Amino acid sequence: MISLVRDSGLQPERTSLAWGRTMTALVGSSLLFLRWVPTYGWFAGTLVAAALAAALGIYVSQRRRYARSVAGISRGRVDADVVAVMSTSLAVFAVGALGIYTVLFLPL
């Protein structure tokens, strides 16, 4: 016999943890970019700033996303935060692309 377990209260918590991991990965990559500053100069500094700005954006908007998810569970419908997902994806892509550009095309 299969038992159905409803987990209606934990989904916002798991989503919050996923955003936290993304934020931690951005902070970690900014620390790695910080090591490039002596070699690549100000351009590496822009990578640090971009990664930290994306992490700060996640941090600032996290409480609103969590509250909206909890409210959505009580209504029975949780809508995806498409803007947050797309902007974070764009920021991570841009930081990664600029990192690749730095390694491949900037002189040492």
Q: Which amino acid is at 86?
A: M
Global pTM value: 0.83
58 contacts 19 by C-beta, under 8 angstroms:
yes
pLDDT at residue 62 in the model: 92
Q: What is the pLDDT of residues 81-108, one digit of tens each?
A: 899 999 999 999 999 999 999 999 998 8
The answer to whether residue 1 scores a pLDDT higher than 70 is no
Alpha helices in the chain (DSSP H): 11-34, 37-40, 42-75, 82-105
Give the C-alpha separation, 51 to 25, whole Å: 9
In this prediction, residue 79 has a pLDDT band, given cuts at 50, 70 and 90, of confident
Sort 44 into a burial class: Cβ within 10 Å, 0-12 / 13-18 / 19+: buried
Regarding predicted confidence, which is higher, 49 or 7? 49
Q: Which long-range contacts (CB under 8 A, 24 or more apart) does 6-10 make?
A: 8/73, 9/73
Residues 6+ apart with CB under 8 A from 59: 23
Give the C-alpha separation, 19 to 98, whole Å: 22
pLDDT at residue 2 in the model: 58
Give the C-alpha separation, 22 to 44, whole Å: 21
